[in-house]
Amino acid sequence: QVRLVESGGGSVQPGGSLRLSCAVFGPTYSVDSVNYMGWFRQAPGKEREAVAVVYIIGASTSYADAVKGRFTISRDNAKNTVYLQMNELQPEDTAMYYCAARRGYPLSMAPSDYHYWGQGTQVTVSS
């Protein structure tokens, strides 16, 4: 079983930055089965949506239109950690942010395609 632990959330003013981290734990055979890591978010009253996804082996990425040019997803395979650098944060970015892991292929932005989820970390953007 794979366990994901997020950190780095908090409160920031509009235009500010935050970096989220997601540490991946589990038996080697389970962790090695993960091909994609993604960040998703869910605001109150809204459905969970994809923010960014990274391919663990090849490092290709995909972003939601709303965050392109502002957010960057990256991974450090040696540390089994995925990051989400968030710049130019806006109030509409306020949400609970979740890290997720997907086995299999291909790259997907659909939450239902992800097999493991973290507990989430809150990001609040407000003046």
pLDDT in tens, 30-88: 888 899 999 999 999 999 999 999 998 877 999 999 999 999 999 998 999 999 999 99
- Residue 47 has a pLDDT of 97
DSSP state of 24: E
- Name the 3-class secondary structure at 28: helix
Smallest CA-to-CA distance from 9 within 125, 127, 122 is with 122
Smallest CA-to-CA distance from 73 within 105, 104, 95, 51 is with 51
Residue 34 pairs in a beta bridge with 103
- Residue 31 has a pLDDT of 85
